[in-house]
Every structure is written in structure tokens, then in C-alpha cells.
A and B are shown apart, each in its own frame.
Chain A
Amino acid sequence: MFKNGDVKMQKNIILVTFLFIPTILILMFMIYPLIKLIGLSFTNWDGLSPTYKYVGFKNFKKIIFDSPEVWAALKNNGVYFVGHILFIPIELFIAFLLDNRVRCCKLFKTITFLPYIINGVAVACMFSFLYSSQDGVLNSVLQFFNLGKIGWLSDPNIVNYSLTAVSLWRFSGIHIILFLAAFQSLPPDMTEAAVIDGANSFQQFYRIVLPNIKPVVEIVLFLNVRGALQVFDIPYVMTAGGPNHASETFTVQTINTAFQYADFGRACAMAVVLMIIIIIFSVIQQKLFNLKG
């Protein structure tokens, strides 16, 4: 047996050895880049030259007051955000049914989660084929019904909705599985009591189930803000932000500002702005959600 002092010593040794590598990793690849990002956002660094100048709030001023393209990109992110928000009630309903309220629910559960598992670039390939204006599947379906072709990815008014549909296809599954897990963690007698009291399915759902899975709904709402404001690979791979910047999202623009236009300072400022927007949106959303609940 160890003496008290030994145990304390051992505790300190284990804390230091176990936490050393994780701490180094998070400090070096999370916290330090964050601080550097904020620092660089006040400079005119081009990403290559060894020197740069501090320019104060110039980058931020330019982003906020003199960059219509940034706001246009944010509006595109808004399409993803609203699309996913509108889908949340549907996802809740599907998860509710998957919780032993439909036949073969195991099979359907497997299928519902399937898109989330698939490689994002492969998803982009698949949907490019569906949306293609020449031999595309969707347009040949339209042709079959004698309807005109639609420029799914080439019409600037439509492209964001087409891409949001891909995002919904890909990410609804994870929301549904999280909701389902929340439903399954509820004790069954909870709704049974309500049934005895004569509550119908809708009342059961709205008055009993929903309030009890609130934490998970909050997590999904947060993931949604974070995801929608950071959409990157779907537009980057499928349209490269085109046609004529119509489907550029905030992150695509940030990356282009940094690596194509070599304006690292401004790109860092954009990243900081994005972070602030994510925090503000999450807080507002949470407040609204709590008001309603």
C-alpha cells in the first residue's frame, strides 16, 4: 500500500504525464492558432513575406463596410441555415417514428444514417451527375414529363437551393440519430402515464417528449449554426463557388482570400468575424429556444 504522500506524488505524476501530450496538442493546434489568427487579423500579411505591418481595424472596416461580396456569401450561408432549421421538425418526426413506431425500424434507421457515412467528395460527384445540365438525371426526369430543363447548378437563383438539398441529404441523418437516441433514453412509463390520462400522440409529443429532450435539440441547433456558417466542401467541390460567385459561402471566400488572393490579414479578420457571428447566433438561438420552451 502507498503512503499518503506517495499517492499524492503519484497523482501529480499521472496528471502531468497523461495531460502533457493532449495539452501540447490543443495549445499548439487550437489555442495558439486562434491567438495568432486574431493577431494577424490586424495586419496586412500576404502569407509569404517574412514581414508585415499592423493596420489596426482596417481589415474589419473593409469587411463590414466595403465588401458586398462578403454579405452576399453570408446570405448563401443563410440558405443552408434556414433549410436545415426547417428540416428539424421533420427530423424530429422521423426520429419519433423510428423509435419503435414503424415496422422494420432497424432497417430504416440504418438507411437514414447512411448518407452521413459517405465521403463528402463522393457525395459531390453523385449529385453533380444528378444535377448535370447535359445528361443529368433530374433534367431527364423533367424532360420525361415534358417540362423544361433547369440549370440546377448553373442558374445563380437556384444553385444555392440545389446545394442546400445536398447538405440536407448528407446531414439530416445525424440529427435524426441524435434525436432518436434522446427519445430512447426517455423512460417508457413517462408517456404511458400520459396515455392513461388520455393524451393523444400530438399532446404526448409536444407536452412530454419534446421538453424532455431539450438538451439534444439545443445541441443540434448549435451544430446547425456551426455547420451552416462553415459549409465548405459541398460548394467548393461542386461549383467552386460559381456561377460567377453565386454559390460562394463565407468559408469558401475566406479560403480564396487567403490562398488565391494572398491576403492573409483580411482572411484572418474574416475568420474572426465568422467566429463572432457563430457565438452571437448560438446565444440568440438559445435565448429564443428557451423563451419558447
Chain B
Amino acid sequence: MEGNIVTNKKTIFKTARKKVNGWEVLKVLLFVFIAAIVILPMLITLFASFKTLPQIGSESALKPPSVLNLDNYKDVIKNNHVFTGLKNSTILVVVSVVLNSLLSTMVAYCLTRFNFKLKKVYLAVFLIGMVIPGTVTEISRFGIMVNLHVYDTLLAPILIYAGADLMQIYIYNQFLSQIPVSIDESAMMDGASYFTIYWKIIFPMVVPATATLGILKAVDVLNDMYIPFLYMPGANHKTLSTMLFACIQDPRTSSIPKLSAAAVIVMIPTLLIYFIFQKFIFSGIAAGAVKE
């Protein structure tokens, strides 16, 4: 019996092997090439972060560091606001993601479950939001932030990040339209209010979409340089991105090895998020973004 299975496995293996032709090898080689392009710049940066400046000049960039020299990291942490950046970025991510997912599910719930007069106008407004080039509207948004007295506080970016956008509403709509309205109705029969339906039924059922959108939002917020750079110039309000930007401009840390160490520090949070949650990212994009 056992032998039988083994021979079976062998034949399966053989047939699988037969398929390995030139085309198959070429395809794998193509992807190895792509992987190299993606990974090499990061690997080189990681190596450089452990080297000294003379080593950078004399060694090949691809040579792993001979010793795990942490001086660059110590210097960056000593001279720059690494922990402030980490703290502020964390606050921004948590608050923005929570607010944003509540607000966008609420909008999506209203838009899919109710008919109201201004529905079309409402959607059009979100569509305009999609076409407006964000970077340049900051010029006029800037004045509003100053007038609201939120300039150079964490509130300024939060107000911008928290708002729902068309893409999110669209993806939530995809999920919500798959939840039969009869569920709402039967809950209603049992005396549930619309709020209870949203909070106890709808919100828990769209959690997969929330996971995807929340992760993408978290990555966006962590990686955004522009908004914190404009609205939070104070040293106490550095985020990871603006801290790194400050490193580039600070002569104490602008050498290649130190900058590499700073870049590695800044990359770690998003990489962690990515490797832990990547399942959700891909499944959510697949489920929501495409089905028209």
C-alpha cells in the first residue's frame, strides 16, 4: 500500500517534471529577475546601514557587512526625532484608520440601503473629490487649517485622513450589495433600529473589506510625507516620513550609511504590516476593486 503511494507520487512528479520545458524556465527566470530588481535596492540599503563611510567607498555595495555595527542606528536615534516620529505616526494611523472606517461604512450604508433626494449629488461630490489633484489643493486648504487653529497639531492631518473617499465607498458598496436586504428587514421585524442594524449586522459583515481598506489606509498614512510636512513643521510633530526627510537635510545624518539606517527604521513598520496582513490586502482588492 505504502509503496503504491510512493510510486504514484513518483509518476505524478514525473508528469509534473515533463512539463518543465524551456518556456517554464524562462518564466521563472523572468520573475527571479523582477524579484532581484525589487529586493536589491532594499538589500543594498540594509547592508549600507551597518557599514562605515570609508567601507561604502571601498567595498562592493552587495557585500554583506562584516560586523553588525549599530553606530549608524545609534547616531540617527540620538540626533533625530525617531521616537517622536514613531509615536506621532502611530497616533495618526490608529485614529485615522478607526475614524475613516467608521465614516466610510456609515456613508456606504446610507448610500446602499436608503433612497434619498440628494443621493446623486452626494455621489457626484465624492467623484469631484477623486478628480481634484490633492497636492495642489493644499494651497487653499492651508488657509482653512490655519483659520481652524489646527496648524501644527496632529488634528490637521487627521481631519484630512479621516474623510471617506470614493474608492472606499465603492468597495464597501460591492460588499454591502452582497448582503441581502432581507436580513435588515427581519432584524427590523424583531425591533432593531437602523442604528442597531448598522452596528450589529452591517459593520461586522463588512469586516473583510474594512481589513483591506484599513491596512491600505494605514500604509498610506505611514508613508505620506506631504501632508505632515505642510501642516506639522514643529519638531514635536515629526512623523516617520518627515523625520526621514529631516535626516536628509541634516548634515549630521545625511551621509549614505546613516541615511540608510534611518530609511531602514522608517521602512520597518509598513513592512511588518505588509507581511502580517498581506492576505487581507490581496483578498480585499480582488473582492472589491474590480467587480463592476
Contacts and interface: CB of A to CB of B under 8 A. Distances in A.
A287 to B, nearest CB: 17
B286 A181 contact: yes
Nearest to B99: A21
B32 to A, nearest CB: 9
A177 B285 contact: yes
A102 B136 contact: no
Main secondary structure of the interface of A (DSSP, over half): helix
A219 to B, nearest CB: 8
Q: Is the interface of B mostly helix, strand, loop or mixed?
A: helix
A254 interface: yes
Interface in A214-256: 215-216, 219, 226, 229-230, 232-233, 237, 251, 254-255
Contact of B289 (A7, A127, A178): A178
A117 B143 CA distance: 31
A36 B289 contact: no
Contact of B194 (A11, A32, A122, A184): A11
Interface residues of B, number: 88
A104 B129 CA distance: 39
A275 B245 contact: no
A226 B114 contact: no
A216 B291 CA distance: 9
Contact of A30 (B42, B128, B278): B128
Contact of B128 (A25, A34, A232, A268): A34
A271 B133 contact: yes
Given A14-B195, A126-B41, A140-B60, A29 B274 contact: no
B44 A130 contact: yes
Given A182-B290, A185-B290, A31 B128 contact: yes
A264 B114 CA distance: 42
A267 B290 contact: no
A22 interface: yes
21 contacts: A1-B188, A14-B194, A14-B198, A15-B116, A25-B164, A26-B164, A34-B140, A97-B31, A103-B27, A104-B28, A104-B31, A119-B241, A120-B241, A121-B263, A127-B41, A135-B56, A178-B285, A215-B290, A258-B139, A268-B140, A271-B137
Given A25-B163, A118-B42, 19 more contacts: A2-B188, A10-B193, A18-B198, A22-B106, A22-B164, A25-B103, A37-B136, A94-B30, A103-B28, A119-B223, A119-B244, A120-B225, A126-B44, A129-B48, A169-B37, A215-B292, A232-B135, A254-B136, A255-B139
Interface of B: 24, 27-28, 30-31, 34-35, 37-39, 41-42, 44-45, 48, 56-57, 60-61, 103-104, 106-107, 109-110, 114, 116, 122, 125-126, 128-129, 131-141, 143-144, 159-160, 162-164, 188-189, 191, 193-195, 198, 219, 222-223, 225-226, 240-241, 244-245, 248, 256, 259-260, 262-264, 266-267, 270-271, 273-274, 278, 281-282, 285-286, 289-292
